[in-house]
Amino acid sequence: MGVLRGAIVPVTPFQQNCTLLWDSDTLQATVIDPGGDVDQILAAIEQNNLRVERILLTHGHMDHAGGAAGLKQALEAGGGAVPIEGPDIRDKFLLDDLAAQAAKYGIPGASNVTPDRWLSEGETVRVGGHEFAVLHCPGHTPGHVVFINHDQRLALVGDVLFQGSVGRSDFPYGDGDALIAAIVEKLLPLGDEYQFVCGHGPGSTFGAERASNPFLRGATVRSV
């Protein structure tokens, strides 16, 4: 087994960081959060000569999940099954409403999607043989999950945490306290050296955010 390599394809007008991860030896790959622009994702898969095993979803928002059904269909047309895994079932109401949401924003091509496997805290998923732990980090959405690879200290955090910010929680189903609690109690304790890829903009490390993220300052002090 080799090491994990990655590429980011910004998708949808929201410039969501659809992420390709693969093993450097086998080129077995996973696509995380294919929100849309499926043709661009397929081009990146082909460019890197990848064989996609599965699609992972962090949460049910359109810019993360709107292209999942279309990508699955396109990939399966060329071979075997490509299961969609995640998020937690508490985001089902969002996945059932993707097409309507996309229409509201005038974004073409989004489809509702039912994952082949719902994920829960404590489960694991595999990316080219590399194991990722599943953490349930609600607040931005009720069923948001985060994927953690301990060997390479890599986290895929979706819209939970950003460089210098945190996810929105002003939706009717949002919960700002739960969001901060998930970051402070589940993510930051993993270690300052963990790097993360987030749903929008540049990534960062848990250490850098612990030190300077204004949304975590008070919360971090309380947790000490």
Number of residues this chain uses to bind Zn ion (CB under 5 A): 2
- Candidates 113, 107, 110; CA nearest to 91 is 113
- Taking the complex as a whole, the smallest distance from the CB of residue 171 to Zn ion amounts, in Å, to 9
- Taking the complex as a whole, the smallest distance from the CB of residue 36 to Zn ion amounts, in Å, to 13
Residue (61 or 136) nearer to Zn ion, CB: 61
Contact segment (CB under 5 A) with Zn ion among 12-20, 22-30, 54-62, 84-92 equals: 54-62
Contact segment (CB under 5 A) with Zn ion among 58-66, 111-119, 169-177, 215-223 equals: 58-66
Q: Is 136 in the site for Zn ion (CB under 5 A)?
A: no
Q: Are 88 and 37 in contact (CB under 8 A)?
A: no
Q: Is 209 in the site for Zn ion (CB under 5 A)?
A: no
DSSP H or E run through 27: none
Q: Are 106 and 121 in contact (CB under 8 A)?
A: no
Residue (29 or 94) nearer to Zn ion, CB: 94
Measure the CA–CA gap between 81 and 60, rounded to whole angstroms: 22
Lateral strand order in the sheet of 84-85: 4-11, 16-23, 28-32, 51-56, 84-85
Q: Are 78 and 65 in contact (CB under 8 A)?
A: no
Helix, strand or coil, per DSSP, at residue 154: strand
- Taking the complex as a whole, the smallest distance from the CB of residue 191 to Zn ion amounts, in Å, to 25
Task: Show the binding pattern over residues 144-163: x = contacts Zn ion (CB under 5 A), - = does not.
Answer: ---------------x----
- Taking the complex as a whole, the smallest distance from the CB of residue 140 to Zn ion amounts, in Å, to 6
Helix, strand or coil, per DSSP, at residue 108: coil
Q: Are 48 and 20 in contact (CB under 8 A)?
A: yes
- Taking the complex as a whole, the smallest distance from the CB of residue 118 to Zn ion amounts, in Å, to 18
74 phi and psi angles, rounded to 5 deg: -65, -40
- Taking the complex as a whole, the smallest distance from the CB of residue 170 to Zn ion amounts, in Å, to 12
- Candidates 185, 184, 186; CA nearest to 210 is 184
Tell which one of 54, 61, 90, 210 touches Zn ion (CB under 5 A).
Answer: 61
Q: Which spans of this chain sit near Zn ion (rule: CB under 5 A)?
A: 61, 159
